[in-house]
Copies of this chain bind each other. A is one copy, B any other.
């Protein structure tokens, strides 16, 4: 951890899927910030637009930081080691970009996290490397909104729910998991799971929201892919997840 020259502090604020999920606690944290720092993938980054909307609602300035390029070359990212390294380098570049802003401006900087900072989000790890004081405010996470939309509990009575990534799904099923929330999906390969139930959601809370549920063999993988592309066509981005439950 490298101590920085100018004093600043950071508030990591989960804002769920948009302004409808900003808790009073998160709103207070936002109002206490001098500015909010957010990565901008492009000039018209649609995910930045939602953060901008949240900042405007609470009267906080948004400082857009151009996002470093991430190495998505399949040759270097297929193996887990290559993937891990690509993620690490991308984080390091992000850290440097954020440090520049915080050292220049000082004060209290907010970091707005889509969903909740505790699940498949790198903000806490990035902020730890900045070496400033920080706190964390939770936000509604995607698995919760998925469950709410489908009006389900994420597990059967008294049983566990295993939250994992699409990349690890096969491995986790092989060790006996039969009730999984699968995040960070891209093209789900669900062959052999025809008898499993799926509850799927894409772009939850956004205009392009898509919901599907049923026996996977009846729904078909193709319908999940169609829903995914439909969400992307409407919103200009796509984030999806699903609950998978094996037959008893």
A residues whose Cβ falls under 8 Å from a Cβ of B: 12, 14, 16, 19-25, 80, 83-84, 87, 116-121, 124-125, 134-141, 143-145, 147-149, 151-155, 157-165, 167-168, 172, 175-176
The 6 closest A-B pairs by CB, nearest first: A118-B147, A160-B164, A138-B144, A136-B148, A20-B25, A138-B148
Chain B, Cβ-Cβ closest to A128 = B151
Q: A117-B148, A147-B138, A153-B124 are in contact. Are A168 and B158 (CB under 8 A)?
A: yes
Structural contact, A84 and B158, CB atoms closer than 8 A: yes
* CA distance in complex: A168, B179 (Å): 15
Docked pose: A139 CA to B118 CA in angstroms: 15
In the assembled complex, the Cα of A120 lies from the Cα of B137 at a distance in Å of 22
Copies of this chain, how many?
A: 2
Q: Are B23 and A20 in contact (CB under 8 A)?
A: yes
Residues of B with C-beta under 8 A to A24: 19-22
A163 to B163, CA, bound (A): 8
6 pairs from A and B in contact (CB 8 Å cutoff):
A21-B25, A21-B138, A22-B23, A22-B24, A160-B172, A162-B163
- From known contacts A138-B145, A148-B137, A160-B162, infer whether A154 and B118 are also in contact, taking CB-CB under 8 Å: yes
Residues of B within 8 A of A83 (CB): 158
Given the complex of chains A and B, what is the CA–CA distance between A103 and B53 in angstroms?
A: 42
Q: Which residues of B contact A125 (CB under 8 A)?
A: 153, 157
Selected contact of A160 from candidates B145, B147, B157, B165, CB within 8 Å = B165
Quick check: A158 and B165 within 8 Å, CB to CB?
yes
Return A217 CB to nearest CB of chain B, in Å. 25
Q: Which of these, B121, B161, B167, contacts A163 with CB under 8 Å?
A: B161
Q: Are B20 and A153 in contact (CB under 8 A)?
A: no
